[in-house]
Amino acid sequence: MIGKKLRCSFCGKGEDQVRKLVAGAKAHICDECVAIADRIMKASPDDPGDSPAAKPPSWRVPPK
Ligand SMILES: [Zn+2]
């Protein structure tokens, strides 16, 4: 890394704000978002998945 602080691509927290930050090819994910993603992945396929509880309010896609 060229002196740039890593950030979770999902919640935007810096690497010093989370316990762990997993680096991917083009994105990073923190342990908190991994836990949330894990919950979503394990959700029943019969679940519509659009319930407000499925996503935290802070989870948003940054505008590009
Ligand atoms: Zn995160």
What residue segments make up the domains of the chain, in order of their start?
Answer: 1-43
Q: Which amino acid, residue 22?
A: V
* CA 14 / ligand 1 centre spacing (Å): 9
State pLDDT tens for residues 33-59.
999 999 989 987 766 656 556 666 666
**pLDDT at residue 4, as a whole number:** 78
* CA 29 / ligand 1 centre spacing (Å): 5
pTM: 0.59
* CA 17 / ligand 1 centre spacing (Å): 9
* CA 18 / ligand 1 centre spacing (Å): 8
* CA 22 / ligand 1 centre spacing (Å): 10
State pLDDT tens for residues 15-40.
999 999 999 999 999 999 999 999 98
Q: How far apart are CA 53 and CA 59, in angstroms?
A: 12
Burial level of 1, CB count in 10 A (0-12/13-18/19+)? exposed
